[in-house]
Chains A and B, each alone.
Chain A
Amino acid sequence: DAGVIQSPRHEVTEMGQEVTLRCKPISGHNSLFWYRQTMMRGLELLIYFNNNVPIDDSGMPEDRFSAKMPNASFSTLKIQPSEPRDSAVYFCASSLWTVDTEAFFGQGTRLTVV
């Protein structure tokens, strides 16, 4: 298995533009997580899905952020409009929905908003 696949790996965009980050989880995993990592705040959970259904989106910073999981093999995180403070590394992770299993992370998308 190729692991969790994220695209793009790097994104540089201008303030105000729409940004879409993509994730393909590991086949067979039924949980998917979006995290954001910055030096100041570390790794923050933004939203997670179980069986394609959003379970908790309390970590989504504001309405400019939205996430979808239309099927078991694909998820998107969208920021519209983007702001410089959104600059961070965004990780997608997948796992099985049980209490003691490993979460596997993608390589991340490094977003820079100028």
Chain B
Amino acid sequence: RKEVEQDPGPFNVPEGATVAFNCTYSNSASQSFFWYRQDCRKEPKLLMSVYSSGNEDGRFTAQLNRASQYISLLIRDSKLSDSATYLCVVNLNAGNMLTFGGGTRLMVKP
């Protein structure tokens, strides 16, 4: 079993739609959680951190459920520019060793 698992998609949605991605992680001792975004043929970049209380950044909302060991990302009013691969990322130790999920591909269409 992979340490961080995601549905690879693709998720094909129309502009303006709301879309949600989930991610599960296997190590209950994981300490911090993130969503990264990766555009085609580019490097991954931090989208947002995920906090236990849930957090929002504009159209993006991230939530963490430690009991069930899953993380979610909700995108509201999706834009064409949101088309990318979204990577769920978990930090397993006290340093900053990040473990990436396989990514979920999102395609937003006009």
**Is A2 close to B, CB under 8 A?**
no
Q: List 11 contacting pairs A-B, 8 Å CB cutoff, sorted by A.
A: A33-B97, A42-B103, A43-B44, A55-B95, A91-B43, A95-B96, A97-B96, A98-B96, A99-B94, A99-B95, A105-B43
- Tell me the dominant secondary structure on chain A's binding face: strand
Q: Encode contact with A along B71-109: 1 for CB under 8 Å, 0 otherwise.
A: 000000000000000010001011111111111000000
Docked CA distance A50–B97 (Å): 10
Name the residue in B94, B100, B101 with the highest tally of chain A Cβ atoms < 10 Å from its Cβ: B100
**Is B45 close to A, CB under 8 A?**
yes
**What are the residues of chain A within 8 A of B43 when measuring CB–CB?**
91, 105-108
A residues bordering B, Cβ < 8 Å?
31, 33, 35, 42-43, 45, 48, 50, 55-56, 91, 93, 95-103, 105-108
B residues bordering A, Cβ < 8 Å?
31-32, 34, 42-46, 49, 87, 91, 93-103
Docked CA distance A26–B97 (Å): 17
Docked CA distance A57–B12 (Å): 38
Given contacts A99-B31, A100-B49, contact A105 B95 (CB under 8 A): no
List the 10 closest A-B pairs by CB distance, nearest first: A105-B43, A42-B102, A43-B100, A102-B46, A100-B32, A95-B96, A99-B31, A99-B32, A97-B95, A105-B44
